[in-house]
Amino acid sequence: MTPAGPTLAPRYREPRTTTAPSNPYLRLFATPGTRAFTLGNLIARVPMGMFGVSAVIMIAGSYGSYALAGAVTATGLAATALVAPWTARLVDRYGQARVAVPATAAAALGSLALLLCVHHEAPAWTLFVAYAATATTPNTGGMSRARWAHLHRGDPKALHTANAFEQAVDELCFMIGPVLAAVLCAALFPEAGTLIGAVMLFGGVLIFAAQRATEPPVAPRSAAAAGSLLRAPGMAPLLGVFLATGAVFGAMEVVTLAHVDGPAAGPVLALQAAGSCAAGLVYGRAGRSVRLHTCLAAMTVLMSLPLLGASTGSLLALAGGLLVAGMATAPTMVTGMTLVQRLTPAGRLNEGMTLAVTALLGGIAAGSATGGWAAEHGPTTTSAFLVPTAAAAVALALCAVTRVGGYQGMTKARRSS
């Protein structure tokens, strides 16, 4: 019989503890499923910055008319402004996957129809019909923000960071999209930008819609929430602020292109989006929003910097002014979108954010027209930089007069009760 050896006491092991990442953006993507839906949404959003440029290059190259190209794209913008809120309402009522996929398929077919019409030089009226069919494109950015709002309901800090991230993605897509479209159309064939954009849009929405675990549930619609969102307290004046803010963006783009008037115009203009993207990411790390009128006041002041830079006659001064001016854009949009989410009844987030985007698009169209007129008929193109500054001042005045920022606390208290 062999003697038993000494008994060894088991070594004590401390329990493993998982600490949340200190970076707020890393904490966002620690939630399962967020990376997958963000990837799909990113793929679907890049074409939003491609379609306009691709259509202009494609139509102008085939028909020899920039006027026709501009009229076709303007028609598509107007159709989108009319149809998008209805599409968003269907998304809220029946779910993102059930509505977004067929709506995107219809929009992609419209893009392909436009491509074929241009390739075969069909009558001009067919271009308007085909491009108007793309108006069913769902608001992919709004759907992504709705998912974040669902995942982080009751956590305003995380939701603020998510909204800042989404705004940075918007800026990134509108920096990459036009460049990618121009490169594809030049390197391959004039229709390449539209074709690849349609494929990316549909493929991205398929990936996004497949992530059912993070999709917000369809909320039962109460009788009080069934009316127009324009009747929600604070919503109409807030949309007016978005309209004026869109005019800032539209005017600044056209005026800058007219002033620089050359191949450097694109990179110089992209600096505004770069400044906005960087400021949005920094703003998101703060964990809280400031008042909307504070953001608008900062934007009004900073939008005067491109005017000062252009008046020196130095391209570098103008570029620096645009870079710094863009830093007020993302905080303003993040704060505005957060306020939209607070003012919108539960179960109608997509519709509320789409209304905000529609107001922005209307403002961009008005600002583009006003800025173009000022650049062409004003004493100098430099003086036309007064238009975006004036539009920012109008947005600030609307916010102050209507006290739209005051609805933040009221809505927060109402939802917590």
Give the whole-angstrom CA distance, residue 396 versus residue 390. 10
Question: Taking the domains of the chain in order of start, what are their residue ranges?
Answer: 33-159+177-217, 229-417
Question: Is the per-residue pLDDT at 406 higher than 80?
Answer: no
CATH fold, domain 229-417, is Growth Hormone; Chain: A; (1.20.1250)
- Tell me whether domains 33-159+177-217 and 229-417 share a fold: yes
Q: What is the pLDDT of residue 253?
A: 79
**What is the sign, positive or negative, of the torsion defined by CA atoms of 158, 164, 170, 176?**
negative
What tens digit of pLDDT does each residue of 203-260 get?
999 999 988 888 888 766 654 455 677 777 778 888 889 999 988 888 887 788 778 8
* Length reported for the chain: 417
Give the whole-angstrom CA distance, residue 315 versus residue 261. 11
Q: What is the pLDDT of residue 347?
A: 73
Which residues neighbour 417 within 8 Å (Cβ) at sequence distance 6 or greater? none
Give the whole-angstrom CA distance, residue 84 versus residue 350. 10
CATH of 33-159+177-217, one of 3.40.390, 1.20.1250, 3.40.50, 3.30.460: 1.20.1250
Its pTM stands at: 0.75
What tens digit of pLDDT does each residue of 289-324 get?
668 888 899 999 999 999 898 888 888 898 899 999
What tens digit of pLDDT does each residue of 23-77 get?
778 888 888 888 888 999 999 998 888 887 788 778 878 888 777 877 787 788 7
Question: Is the per-residue pLDDT at 11 higher than 60?
Answer: no
What tens digit of pLDDT does each residue of 176-197 get?
887 788 888 888 888 888 999 9
What tens digit of pLDDT does each residue of 99-154 get?
999 999 999 999 999 999 998 989 989 999 998 899 898 888 888 888 888 888 77
